[in-house]
Amino acid sequence: MNARLMLVEIRKVWAWYLAFLLVTMFYLVLKPYPLAHNDIVMSVLAAFQGAMLGWRIFHDPAGTQSFAWSRPLTRTQLFMNRWLLGLSLQVLTLLVVFALVGSGARSRFHEILAGETNPFYPACRWFDLAVLWPCAVYGLLAYQAALYLNAFAEFNWRHLGGAISGTLRRTLLSVMALCFPAALFVLIDLPPATAPRWPYGVLVAGIAVITAATTAMAVHVYRHMEVES
Amino acid sequence: MNESVIHTEGLSRWFDKKQAVAEIVLDVPRGAIFGFLGQNGAGKTTTIRMLMGHLHPSGGAVEIFGRDPRWLSRADRQRVAYVSENMNLPRWIRPNEALALNASLYPNWDAVRARDLMNRFGLEDAGPFATFSKGQKRALCLVLALCTGAELLILDEPASGLDTAARRIFLDALLESNREKECTVFLSSHMLTDLERVVDRVAILKAGRKILDGELEELKDCARVLHLPASARRETVERHFRVASFRKAAEDVRATILDFNEDRLRALCAEDPAYGCVEMRGLNLEDLFVELVTGDLIETGGSVV
């Protein structure tokens, strides 16, 4: 892991990342109802953020690809550097959510805003922390799907001669990446309940397998793809 | 014989149905400054991209330090620095950030030399990369490569866009790297007068094929333009010399040959007395290059000398 390279690479993504983070923070503060493990808006926000990170971190602007690829890092190291950067940003989002909800800032805001007239008064910050679950799971799954699909697209479409434009291709693939956690959402969480349909242990194991598999596939693509220079 | 830092064997690359590089054999010995020449579209950049492991060969093999460049370890990658034809830094990066990044990645990074070259190129107070002129962009890319302490520099059109003073600074720095740090340099350029000052060996590409490869001084010693009588025939000259081009003018014929020596000339004159009054002149690198790429020499094998 090279911190300097991460600082260079983060420039590709920081404006988008901050925008998503701000929207997430506004949502958390302003939602007047309790937050839960199956909060669909939080799931969608996290999934969009994950897909955005996967897309932008693993995509080099036109003409600049060989800059990173010519530094003295193996392709696997370059991949892992970028992958860890994306994961770090997702962890940062979780920390911000945790701080906002766990510190009681959100509860305090609602108490000031509505006080005892809020039907959910008093807001229970420890109950609201369940929102970390969709934030972590759908952010991670969308990120994994996006990075794999984008790496696959770079590899495949370049060899096919660019039949579709790069922007359209990435948009389609990002939509596909979002479908992936959305399908899982239906499978896991859609029915209103106090906990997911499956035991947390099973879900975590399943997510770990998906993460490991998509990472391994993306690394494989990175090791074999051709690079502009 | 010196160890080869770069070795290719039958290196080829196709793009769809077009062959960009055809069966190139190269050996770049350690410590050499190797000029890689060719017209636009001759296959230089494609070859360099394969040397860097950015493109996969369609056929043949390429080795850097005895290994496939795609699978070089981090330690081996730290022995190679590269400047691409398209100056490829992110548009937002500032020179200090780029230098700090390289310093963190190359264990032999020479910060003192980097500062010195930045001053000499006039880049010390420059803003983001996107605001640079073409020459400044090129200069920064060169500083980033020249100060890595790498054993092998691969430079694709390094002097393109540099003004005369900057070219001089670059060539001096290049020679310093080569002489004092024993760095091997593989560079392609159209600035043949500059190249002639620094290179030890050259290879010339034409339409994806290597047509000539050898020590520059030997090539220049052995290359001659013969001014022959108008009646001269190519077959006759080819029986004695390797002919790169054979051009008929109004009053005479000019043949560029690559393997001149006095004995062969005497043999040619003995075969036909009309050749007795041959005039000849030597060639510099630029003349040799033009004669070769506009002539009809086809050569795919090894060194001509």
- pLDDT tens digits, one per residue of A20-30: 999 999 999 88
CA distance B286 to chain A (A): 27
Q: What are phi and psi of B7, to 5 degrees?
A: -140, 130
Which residues, 6+ apart, have CB-to-CB distance to B91 below 8 Å?
A61, A64, B128, B129, B130
Interface of A with B in 36-75 (CB under 8 A): 61, 63-67, 69-75
Using an 8 Å CB-CB cutoff, list chain B residues near A70.
52, 82, 84, 88
Disruptive mutation site among B17, B54, B74, B154 for chain A (greatest number of A CBs within 10 Å):
B54
Q: Does B18 touch chain A (CB under 8 A)?
A: no
Its pTM stands at: 0.85
What integer pLDDT is reported at residue B29 of this predicted model?
Answer: 93
Closest partner residue to B89 among A7, A67, A74, by Cβ? A67
Model pLDDT, residue B49: 94
* Partners of residue B106 in chain A, C-beta under 8 Å: 72
| pLDDT at res. A98 | 95
> Which strand ranges, in their side-by-side order, compose the sheet holding B4-15?
B18-29, B4-15, B59-64
pLDDT at B19: 92
- Best probe of the A interface among B91, B99, B101, by most A CBs < 10 A, is B101
A202: closest CA of chain B, how far (Å): 38
Which pLDDT does position B297 carry in this prediction?
59
Q: Is A105 on the interface with B (CB under 8 A)?
A: no
pLDDT at site A122: 63
**Is residue A86 within 8 Å of A143, Cβ to Cβ?**
yes
Note the ipTM here: 0.83
Residues 6+ apart with CB under 8 A from B258: B212, B219, B222, B223, B241, B242, B243, B244, B297, B304
Residue of A nearest to B84 (CA): A229
User: What does the pLDDT read at residue A161?
Assistant: 45
The list of chain B residues with pLDDT below 70 reads 1-2, 276-277, 296-305
Pick from A5, A8, A229: which is nearest to B52 by CB?
Answer: A229
Structure tokens, B140? 């920064």
**Is the CB of A162 inside 8 Å of chain B's CB atoms?**
no
Of B90, B100, B106, the CB nearest to A64: B90
Per-residue pLDDT, B300? 39
Low-confidence ranges of chain A (pLDDT < 50): 160-163
For B131-163, letters b (16+ CB in 10 Å) and e give ebeebbbbbbbbbbbbbbbbbbbbbbbbbbbbe
